[in-house]
Amino acid sequence: MLLLAPSGGGKSTLLAALAGLHDPESSGRSKGTVLVDGRDPRQARLRTGLVLQDPQSQLVMARAGDDVAFGLENHGVPRERMWQRVDEALAAVGFPYGRDRPTAALSGGEQQRLALAGVLALRPGLLLLDEPTAQLDPAGAALVRDVLARVRGTTLLLVEHRVAEALPLVDRVVVLEPGGGVVVDGPPAAVFAEHGAALAARGVWVPGLPVPRRRAAGAPGAAVLTAAGLRHPRLRSRLPDLVLRAGEAVALTGPNGAGKSTCARMVGGLVRPADGELAPPLHRWPARALAGFAGSVFQDPEHQFLSRTVADELELGPLRLGSAPATARRRRDELLARLQLEHLAEANPFTLSGGEQRRLSVGTALATRPQLLVLDEPTFGQDARTWLELLDLLAGLRDDGAALLAVTHDEAFAEALADRTVVLGGEVAPAGAGVGSGAGADSAPAATVPS
C-alpha cells in the first residue's frame, strides 16, 4: 500500500501508531481504533518493523553491524544465525562498508540504508517505511526499491514522494484527509486516472505532474564565493574548485558518501577546511558577520532550531542582525504565508512533521535575505504544492542577486532551478538530463554540468 497525503497530513503519525509508538490515551485528541493482527499495536511490536523519516533517530550502536544485530538480539535470535542475517541485510541494501564501520561516520543516505537493513533483518510481518529513499542517490534508491520488490510474506505500507518510481511496488493507493479520514482508496491506475487532477490540487504528488522550470532572470554576476582545493579529514580527496556567483543557482549532486554535505558545511563557513582556500574565509568570520552574509539549511532541520515557536524562529535571525521589530514581523508573516506555516505559528518547531520542519529551516535561512544560501536536501518531505512554493522562493532569491548552492538527490528540483550542476564522485550527464550516480565515493573527481 502507498500512503499519500499533503505535507503534515498525518502519514508519519499513522505509521508510528501502527508500530505501537503512539499511546492514544496520552494525547487525549486521538479518535478511532488501530489494530495489528487484531490486537493493540503495542502488543504486536514483534510483528512490525518501522523505518523512520530521520534515520539518525533510530541508529543506536557505534558500529554498523552491531546496529543491525541490536534488534535481532532483542528478538532472541540465536547467535549462530544472527551474523548471517546481519550480513544478508547489509548486502541487500547495498551498504558499502563492513560491520565495523562507525555509524557516526556515515552520510545521511548511508544511515538510511543501515536503518533499513536493521528492520529487514527482523523479517517483520508488517513493514512500515517513511520516505525510505528520500536521502538516497538515484542508484541507491533504485536498489532499495529492488530489495522491497523481492520481499515476500510481508505487508508493506509505504510513504513516498517519488510516486512514479514506487508504483511498481504497490497494489493499492490510500490518500489521507488531513485531520482524519480517507479521500481515496483503490488500485493505483484507477486512483490516478479518476482523481489525479483533484489530488494534485490538494498538493498530493501525482505521476506525470509537470514541473515548471525556473531559469535565472539574467546572466550570473560577480563571484560571491570562491573555493579552491578544499580538504577535510573525513574525505579522502580534495573537493572540486567552485565559484558561486550572484544570481546563480548551483546544484551539488552525487552518490551517498561522496562528501556533498561536508562540502556544503565548508562552503557555508560552518566547518573549517583542513586545507585549501575559501574566499571570503567564512570559517574565520564571527557569527554575527557570517549570519548577515550566508544562510545554511542543514540536512537535519532539528539541528538549527533555537526558539520556542515557529513565529519566533523566523524572527530570530532578522532581530539578531538589527532589524526593527516591525520589519522582522513583516518578514515573518510573509514567510509563514508562503511556506504554508501560518496555522503553526505558535507551535513548537520540534512538534512539526518532517516536511514542515524542512520548510521552517528553509524559512529561517531566507529570513535574513543572505547573499549566499547553502541548502542540504531542501525539498525533503514536501508535497507537490509546498515543493513548488520552495522552488519559487529560491528562484526569487536567486533572481534578486543571491548565490545558491543546493545539495540534492531530487533530480526534478535540480533540473527546475539549477543553472549549473556539480557532480561529486559521478559521471557527467547531458545538459538538462537527470544526473546519474557513479561508483566512486570520495576519491572520484567532480564534473560540472550546465543545465
Question: pLDDT for 388-441, tens place per residue?
Answer: 999 999 999 999 999 999 999 999 999 999 999 999 874 333 334 333 333 233
pLDDT category at 42 given cuts 50, 70, 90 is very high
> Do 186 and 83 share a structural domain?
yes
CATH of the domain at 24: 3.40.50.300
Q: Which of 209-213, 226-230, 391-395, 433-437 has the lowest mean pLDDT?
A: 433-437
Residue type, 373: L
**Helical pair 354-366 and 310-320, crossing angle rounded to 10 deg:** 20
Q: How many CB atoms lie within 10 A of CB 156?
A: 17
Strand order in the sheet with 294-297: 294-297, 372-376, 403-407, 248-253, 420-424, 446-450
- On the question of pLDDT at 444 being above 80, the answer is no
Domain that holds residue 340: 223-450
Q: Is the dihedral of CA 350, 381, 173, 179 positive or negative?
A: positive
pLDDT category at 153 given cuts 50, 70, 90 is confident
pTM beyond 0.85: the answer is no
> Do 237 and 163 share a structural domain?
no
- 431 part of a folded domain: yes
> By C-alpha distance, which of 254, 262, 269 is closest to 238?
262
Query: Are 132 and 15 contacting, i.e. CB atoms less than 8 angstroms apart?
Result: no
Span 296-308, mean pLDDT?
Answer: 90
pLDDT computed for residue 26 by the predictor: 64
CA distance 89 to 83: 10
- 216 part of a folded domain: no
Number of H helices, E strands in the chain: 15, 15
Q: 74-111, pLDDT tens digit by residue?
A: 999 998 899 999 999 999 888 989 999 999 888 877 88
- 213 part of a folded domain: no
Number of domains in the chain: 2
Q: Please, what's the largest Cα pairwise distance for the chain?
A: 67
- On the question of pLDDT at 218 being above 70, the answer is yes
- 214 part of a folded domain: no
> Do 148 and 287 share a structural domain?
no
- 215 part of a folded domain: no
